[in-house]
Amino acid sequence: MNHKITKRSFIRRCAALSAGALCLPGTGFLAEEQSGFRKEAMFQEETARGIMCRICPNECVLKEGELSKCNNRKVIRSKLYTLAYGNPCSANVDPVEKKPLYHFLPGTRAFSIATAGCNLVCLNCQNWTISQTSPDKTRNYNLMPDKVVSESIAKGCKSIAYTYSEPVTFYEYAYDTAVLAKQAGIRNIFKSNGYIYPEPLKKLCGVIDAANIDLKAFSEGTYLRLSGGKLQPVLDSLRIYRDMGVWLEITNLIVPKWTDNTDEIKKMCGWLAENGFGKVPIHFSRFHPTYKLEQLPPTPVDTLNKAAQIAREEGLLYVYTGNVPGSELSDTKCPGCGSTVVVRQGYRIAANNLAEGKCGKCGSKVDGVWS
């Protein structure tokens, strides 16, 4: 094993750290060799053109040696393998509020992992140093599923979050870990773009407790240009998460010039309200210049507040803004009497006036998973 750190690998390691990595005691960085972190892929199908992956709507069809669009699946000796199994490039303990999940075990910690790879190519990706690359190009931990669960317990976490890059693309690793976590009484959280086919998603919903799904835009054209994906599969995923009893929250990142059109925001909120997502918390998140959209300004706070107002007018009950320090729109209001039931300061819970999921003042039910 060669543990020598070159200038290049040091820079890569720093980039991974900025995307959420934390050196865990006893889990040192690995050497370059990644072949021990392969596993035969789930949902693969032989076709006349090659092996097809049926996990997400990209439907990669790969020939021998070809790498998938998400950069972490490969055909080896006529079988599709995931190259992202047990080798996260990020491992960290986060407040659950950071996902963001505001109605799920507030004030608890989530053991958070990610491998390299993503099935979309968002121009605004905050974690592009790990999402737009493959596991052989990141510095990784050796953390097999049983070790993830034991580390979570040792660090006092109530949940494991599959996050930072795109967990759909490290499906097998996330699924196997989630099964073990569930057996150990640890909850599972998916922070995802929702770009997944119904069959693998339904299987996953059997072991996932909560999800925060990015709804990046509300037109097919914007979705394609901004992220390289399609809107409809994400809407289908939202329904599946909700119908299968997974606690769901939605994030809409408002990117100036791309997704700040108030008519489109109104259309999106109207669709959510009409389609049974009125009680699903929505987070309008502030964009900061990054990756291929560095030239854009941060989202004005007024734009976020306007979006929140539209959402409430359209009938959404729990509306938040994100990445806006000091905003009252990060607090939870009782849908019955309007009083503040959870006060947040950044990711910290400053006050919690809920009693068994009910408003401490008027007794109305506040939707969520509170214990």
- The footprint of ligand SF4 (CB under 6 A) covers 53, 55-56, 58-60, 68-70, 73, 119, 168-169
Q: Which is nearer to ligand SF4, 138 or 169 (CB)?
A: 169
Distances from the Cα of 194 to the Cα of 11, 169, 230, 238, 341, angstroms: 31, 11, 10, 7, 29
Name the minimum Å distance from CB 71 to ligand SF4: 8
Distance separating alpha carbons of residues 260 and 308, to the nearest angstrom: 12
Q: Of 105 and 240, which has the nearer Cβ to ligand SF4? A: 240
**Token duo for residue 237:** 């995923």
Minimal distance, residue 233 CB to ligand SF4, in Å: 11
- Cβ–Cβ under 8 Å, residues 143 and 92: no
Q: Which is nearer to ligand SF4, 195 or 284 (CB)?
A: 195
Which two three-digit tokens encode residue 322?
């994100």
| Cβ partners under 8 Å of residue 221, min gap 6 | none
Sheet holding 39-40, edge to edge: 39-40, 79-82, 73-76
Closest to ligand SF4 by CB, 68 vs 152, is: 68
User: Least separation, in Å, of the C-beta of 41 and ligand SF4?
Assistant: 8
Of 59 and 243, which CB lies nearer to ligand SF4 in the complex structure? 59
Of 200, 83, 190, residue with least CA distance to 133: 83
CB of 180 to ligand SF4, least distance (A): 22
219 C-beta neighbours (distance < 10 Å), count:
15
What's the min distance (Å) between Cβ of 67 and ligand SF4? Answer: 9
